[in-house]
Amino acid sequence: MKNALPSPARPLRIGTRGSLLAMWQAHEVRRSLMVAHDLSEDAFEVVVIKVTGDMIQDRALKEIGGKGLFTREIEEALLDGGIDIAVHSMKDMPTQQPPGLTLDCYLPREDVRDAFVSNTINALSELPQGAVVGSSSLRRRSQLALRRPDLKLVEFRGNVQTRMKKLDDGVAVATFLAMAGLNRLGMAHVAKSAIEPEEMLPAVAQGAIGIERRTDDAAVTALLEAIHCTPTGHRVTAERAFLAELDGSCETPIAALALLEGDTLWLRGEVLRPDGTESIAGDIRGPIADGPQMGRDLARQLKARAPSGFFDWH
């Protein structure tokens, strides 16, 4: 029977990338569903799906371009019925989902901050003049270039171990990771310090895990409702509306962070030139329910302030 509730005879298939962090996230979704619905582990099956983004680690992702490098194959499996839900780092998710798929279920958000990682230096502010730092994130690179034009930036990619090895080898004196990933993998000690959003505004949806489903799958929709974190949903939705209005992706120099203060949502946003020569930033406050409109409004305000040619990274 289609859309049946999971049972040992027909486990719910959870699709994910194969990276350590992605696997942890898929198992966290399984744990949450088990608790919420009093189901056993064998009501679920974690299905690993190879994605383009994982197969091209040796090249700068922005050279290959295109949105959804980490998600396309997973969404295809979801549409095909090969999996029943897909677990994603929301930071990597395109702002639009393909017809037939819905992404509106979020686990409670982790630490949103970037981590400062180094063997020898304690904090971003303590980097000596002209220091070599490694990052392949266009957002982090442009934010660093803006605030510290003296720094030398080199490409840095790979899992935590690969990056630590590069630091040991002296390829760079520091690099940057998301605190969320380090915390989830029990590797918070790798961070010398966390970088406050005031110093480096994080990526849209950083630290949030989202669960995608087939829109018409009523049983899965009901199953997921029980584990949805509403505050995370409000925050991520506002940030993603900001990103969508700027026509951005996880490979554009855009940052945003929404916080809830009582009944109010406070959204900060920043867009940069890729070379970090200029940044346009602003913020907006309003009722939580207006989050998506505020995201669009803030994006339009920043666009109106941008000189011509600012968005040439499109």
> What are the catalytic residues?
92
To the nearest whole angstrom, how small is the minimum distance from the Cβ of residue 78 to ligand PBG?
Answer: 19
Q: Does 178 bind ligand PBG (CB under 6 A)?
A: yes
- Three-class secondary structure of residue 184 per DSSP: helix
CB of 236 to ligand PBG, least distance (A): 11
Please report whether residue 88 would count as binding ligand PBG according to CB under 6 A. no
CA dist list (Å): 165 to 33, 42, 121, 168 = 37, 38, 16, 5
Q: What's the order of all strands across the beta sheet hosting 279-287?
A: 254-261, 264-272, 279-287
Q: Which stretch binds ligand PBG (CB under 6 A): 128-136, 174-182, 234-242, 271-279?
A: 174-182
- Return the exposure string of 89-128: e unless at least 16 CB atoms fall within 10 Å of the residue's CB, then b: bbbbbbbebeeebbbbbbbebbbbbbbbbbeebeebeebe
Give yes or no for residue 89 binding ligand PBG (CB under 6 A).
yes
Interaction between residue 175 and ligand PBG (CB under 6 A): no
Of 245, 292, 243, which Cα lies nearest the Cα of 265?
Answer: 292
Q: How far is the CB of 123 from ligand PBG (least distance, A)?
A: 18
> Does 163 participate in binding ligand PBG (rule CB under 6 A)?
no
As a whole number of Å, the CA-based R_g of the chain is: 20
Per CB under 6 A, 206 contacts ligand PBG? yes
Compute CA distances 290 → 18, 237, 242, 245, 264, whole Å.
36, 10, 12, 15, 9
What ranges make up the beta strands (E) of 67-198? 85-89, 101-106, 114-117, 132-134, 152-154, 174-178, 193-195
Which residue from 15, 68, 207, 210 is in contact with ligand PBG, where contact means CB under 6 A? 207
Is 243 a binding residue for ligand PBG by CB under 6 A? The answer is no
3-class secondary structure, 124? helix
143 binds ligand PBG (CB under 6 A): no
- Phi, psi dihedral angles at 118 (to 5 degrees): -160, 155
Q: Which of 29, 49, 180, 284 binds ligand PBG (CB under 6 A)?
A: 180
Q: Which of 181, 269, 276, 291 binds ligand PBG (CB under 6 A)?
A: 181
User: CB of 53 within 8 A of CB of 72?
Assistant: no
Piece in contact with ligand PBG (CB under 6 A), picked from 8-16, 26-34, 87-95, 147-155: 87-95
Using the rule CB under 6 A, is 251 a contact of ligand PBG?
A: no
d(CA 268, CA 256): 5
CB of 269 to ligand PBG, least distance (A): 17
Select the span of 32-40, 176-184, 253-261, 263-271 touching ligand PBG (CB under 6 A).
176-184
Contact between 17 and ligand PBG by CB under 6 A: the answer reads no
Give the binding-site size for ligand PBG (rule: CB under 6 A).
Answer: 10
C-alpha span between 48 and 14 (Å, rounded): 8
Binding site for ligand PBG (CB under 6 A): 89, 91-92, 177-178, 180-181, 206-207, 250
